[in-house]
A and B are shown apart, each in its own frame.
Chain A
Amino acid sequence: MTLANRILTGDRRALARLITIVENQPTEAIPNLQLLYPHTGKALVIGITGPPGSGKSTLVDKLAKKLRQQKKTVGIIAVDPTSPFTGGAILGDRIRMQDLATDPGVYIRSMGTRGSLGGLAKAAHSAIEILDAAGMDYVFVETVGVGQSEVDIVGIADTTMVTLVPGLGDDIQTIKAGVLEIADIFVVNKADRPGADQVKMQLEMMLDLNTKEIKWRPPVLPTVANAGEGIADLLQGIKKHYRYLHDSGELRARRKARYKAEIMAIVEEGLRDRLLTFWAGEGKINTVVEEVIAQEKDPYTAAFELLGPFLAK
C-alpha cells in the first residue's frame, strides 16, 4: 500500500513519514502527493506570525481546543528557526500544546527553517496538502518573526493572523513594513497588560491611513491567550474572514495565485535541474565564469550563450 493510501485510511505514521520525505527528498514525495491531490482543497489554512514571545503557540493551542469542541479536526505546522551555524534546531512550540498531543483529532508537526527559505515554504505547502488530504478541517501554520520567510509562508495561507503584544515599544515600527499588507486579522495578545489599548489604537490608525478602497478591513482583536480570553471572538473573526473570502471570490483568487506559483516553481526547478545536468556534462559553466571574471564577457552575454542551444530548440 502506498503512503498516500495509508494516509487516506488515517495512518498517522504514514502521514508523519511523508512529511519527512517532503522535507528531505521532495522529489521522492511526488508520486504520493499526486495521489493525495484529489483529496485536498477542503481545509482552511491559517497562517500565524508575529514576534517571538507574542503567544503564537498558546493562541494556536487555544484555538485548536475550541475547534475540537466543535468536532473539527486540526493540523498544526509549527516552524522554528534552524541555527545557521550547526544546522541544528530546538523546536519548542509543542511545550504550549501538550494537551493536544494525544487528541486523535489533532496532528502537530514541528519544522526547522533549515537552509533555504524557499525550501521551507515549499515543504510547508506540501505538508499542508498532506494534512488537508488526511482530512483536517483546519490547518495552522505558525512561524516566528515577520521577515521574508514568513511572507513566503503566509502566501500559502487563506487567512493570515499577525500577533502583537504590548510593551515592546516600537514593535509596530518593526513590523509595519509588509505586515499591513499580509495581515487579515491582527491579534493583540497579552491584552491584560498595560499598553494594549495603545497597540490597538496605533494599528487602527494605520489601517485608517489605508486610502485604497478595501473590501476587508483587518479587525484588531484583543486576547489573553493563556487565560483563554478573546479566543471565541478570534475564532469568530477567522470564520467571518473565511465567509468574506468565499463570498467575494477572493478565496478562489488566492488559491489560484498559490497554485500558479507552485506550478511555476515546479517548472523552474525542473528546468534548472535539466540545465545544470546538461552544463555539468559539457563542463561549460566554469569556462564562462572565468571569461566573465576576466572581463572578456559581460554576465548577460555569457548567460544568453549558455541558454543558446535551448532557446534555439
Chain B
Amino acid sequence: MRERPIRVLIAKPGLDGHDRGAKIMARALRDAGMEVIYTGLRQTPEQIVETGIQEDVDVIGMSILSGAHTHLFPKVMQLLKDNEAEDILVIGGGIIPDEDIPALKRAGLAAIFTPGALTETVIDFIKEQVQK
C-alpha cells in the first residue's frame, strides 16, 4: 500500500456552470480517503495544468458538459507535455459522445466517464492506475 493519500485535482474547464457532477465526484474521492483539490468553475487549461503542478497531484479529473471537450481536454494534455508533467494521470467526465472518446484517449486521457458511470468505478480506476 502507498503510505500517502492520493492527491486529485478536480477541475471544471470551459464555460459551463454545471458543477454538480464535479462536486459529487470530489466528495466521493474524499470519502475514499483521497485529498481532493477543488478549484471551482471556469478554469482555463493553463490554470488547471499549473495548479496540478503546484499541488503535485497524482491525478487530474476534469468535467465538461458544454461540448468543448474536444478542444479543452487535448489542450490540457499538450500543456502537461510542455511542462514535462505527462506522468500525471488525466481522466475526463461529463456529456461526451461515444464517437469522441477514441480521439481523446489518443490525446492521452486515461479514461472518460460518461453519465451513468458509478463513483466506485472511478475510484477503483484511480486507485489501480496510481498504484502502478
Contact partner, A98, options B3, B26, B37, B43, Cβ 8 Å: B43
Complex Cα distance A194/B113, Å?
47
Complex Cα distance A109/B34, Å?
16
Complex Cα distance A219/B53, Å?
38
Q: Is B82 an interface residue (CB 8 A)?
A: no
**9 residue pairs bridging A and B, Cβ less than 8 Å apart:** A16-B53, A17-B56, A23-B4, A89-B35, A91-B37, A101-B43, A101-B46, A101-B47, A110-B35
Which label, helix, strand, loop or mixed, suits the secondary structure of the A interface?
A: mixed
Chain A, Cβ-Cβ closest to B44: A102
Interface size on B, residues (CB 8 A): 32
The interface of chain A, by Cβ under 8 A from chain B, is 12-13, 16-17, 19-20, 23-25, 82-83, 86-92, 94-95, 98, 101-102, 107-110, 112, 114
Q: Is the CB of A16 within 8 A of B30?
A: no
- Supply 17 further A-B pairs (C-beta < 8 A) apart from A87-B33, A94-B40: A12-B54, A16-B53, A16-B54, A16-B55, A20-B56, A83-B30, A83-B31, A86-B30, A86-B31, A86-B33, A87-B5, A88-B29, A90-B26, A92-B37, A95-B38, A101-B43, A107-B54
Task: Give chain A residues whose Cβ lies under 8 Å from the Cβ of B30.
Answer: 83, 86, 88-90
Q: Tally of A-B residue pairs with Cβ under 8 A? A: 90
The interface of chain B, by Cβ under 8 A from chain A, is 3-5, 7, 26-27, 29-40, 42-44, 46-47, 50-51, 53-56, 83-85
Task: Give chain B residues whose Cβ lies under 8 Å from the Cβ of A102.
Answer: 44, 46-47, 50
Complex Cα distance A242/B51, Å?
30
Q: Is the CB of B47 within 8 A of A13?
A: no
